Structure 1
Amino acid sequence: MRLCGVIFDVDGTLVDSQADILAAMSGAFEAESLAPPSKDAVLGIVGLSLDVAIPKLAPGSDHAACTRMVQGYKDAYASLRMQQGADVSSPLYAGAREALSRLKEQDEILLGVATGKSRRGLDKLIDAHGLAGTFLTQQVADDHPSKPNPSMLLQAMRDLGVEASDTVMIGDTSFDMDMARAAGAYFIGVSWGYHDVSRLSEADVVIDSFAQLDAALEMIWSKANG
């Protein structure tokens, strides 16, 4: 049996966490007496590791200030999550749970995540949504260079024992797309996330709902098998 890896981004792909992302980023900037960046600017960097994202949003700030903002963001995000619960503050997109269940039932498909979230943040989210045991590999920002560096996707493939030609990355940002390309994997873009669909022009396919995911994967496997 030929094994296939299906690797998901998290924020903007599986869960909608933009309200907490925007609030936490505003808090981090205000703590440094800086005007918060615009919504579009913040959502434009979702997917990058914080130590890469915040200097892009605050190009005039020195390293020490950016380091404080990274920690301020983490603290504010954790506080918001604690107040509401991760299942409320970062709800699953419609159809996500069902799609994961369908894929998990197929013995030849191995699931994983590759995310700019921290290990702590991902663990909290998985626990909150009852997804323990769903993802056989979990790659986070703590252990890798920021997307679009292919490090986390390459490690996911090693963990699962699958080739790049049998791997699909699913995400909402150009960073996910570029990471997949750099790793030699296929890429399915989702239109409901934080980057405009125009930025996903090099995706193998873009889907508008999780109901379309199975057919998109079948199309890719068919192409891969020639």
Structure 2
Amino acid sequence: MSAPLRLVLFDVDGTLVDSQVSIVHAMTASFRAASVAVPDRDAILSIVGLSLPHAMAQLAPDQPTSVQEALVEGYKQAYHAHRLELGAASSPLYPGAREVIETLHAIPEVLLGVATVKSQRGLDALIEVHGLEQYFVTRQVADHHPSKPHPSMVQTALAETGVSEANAAMIGDTSFDMDMAAAAGVTGIGVSWGYHDNSALTAAACVIETFDQLPTTLAKIWT
């Protein structure tokens, strides 16, 4: 009897790639251009994982909607320019990420996907610059879904792949990722190297310390 299909969904920023330099740079540029006080680094990293409108509402709650919308557009422009300037260096893969992606991709019954608040353009550019085009069979982005922790991204990925909730896992670094996984009824696996402290990952089934722990962790969960 063949093994059931499994689905491993990855968050991107803070999980697969360390994009904090670009995020902080773009957020700083956007706030300065709008003549709004720039949030500190910790505040900026705390909203990674939220869609941009939600993030700006949290970072600039006293600003009118028009200013928050300008901050969103300013961020997009600054981030895009920074990515064009630095290429892959703007969002380097975390140690072990590529090796684990390749290892999991080689298992016939395991499908890989992405669930990120990046735009379609941003995700496609990131995947291309790192040469990861062949690995992800489902790519869920902010353009088509409510912000995390709404379960829409995970639910759509399950529907696209035909994998059941019990055979799926969401890998992420923020409480938004783990809460999304819980809301969708899939296992959440937190990572310790991202932008939220481990103490915030309360909805995670477990938290791994290094990427090479992921395959064995998944095997234990699915045994």
Shorter-chain TM-score tier: over 0.9
- Report the CA distance between 1:201 and its aligned residue: 2.6
Deviations 1:76-127 (A, max 9, x none): 0000001111x11100000000000000000100000000100010010000
Could you list the structure 1 runs, at least 4 aligned residues long, displaced by more than 3 angstroms after superposition.
none
Structure 2 residue 83 is matched with structure 1 residue 74: no
- Specify the code of the residue in structure 2 equivalent to 1:127: E
Match of 1:145 in 2: 146
Match of 2:55 in 1: 53
* Inter-partner Cα distance in structure 2 for 1:221 and 1:125: 30
* Inter-partner Cα distance in structure 2 for 1:220 and 1:101: 20
Structure 2 residue 25 is matched with structure 1 residue 23: yes
Q: Which TM-score applies when normalising by structure 1?
A: 0.97
- Specify the code of the residue in structure 2 equivalent to 1:141: A
Q: Please give the secondary structure, in 2, of the residue aligned with 1:136.
A: strand
- Specify the code of the residue in structure 1 equivalent to 2:42: D
Q: Please give the secondary structure, in 1, of the residue aligned with 2:218.
A: helix
* Inter-partner Cα distance in structure 1 for 2:114 and 2:38: 30
Match of 2:85 in 1: 83
Match of 1:132 in 2: 133
Deviations 1:21-68 (A, max 9, x none): 001001111111111101111111001000111110000111111111
Match of 1:106 in 2: 107
- Specify the code of the residue in structure 2 equivalent to 1:135: F
User: Unaligned regions of 5+ residues in structure 2, if any?
Assistant: none
Percent of aligned positions with the same letter in both sequences? Answer: 55
Match of 1:161 in 2: 162
- Specify the code of the residue in structure 2 equivalent to 1:53: A
Q: Which TM-score applies when normalising by structure 2?
A: 0.98
C-alpha root-mean-square deviation of aligned residues, in Å?
A: 0.6
Q: Please give the secondary structure, in 2, of the residue aligned with 1:16.
A: coil
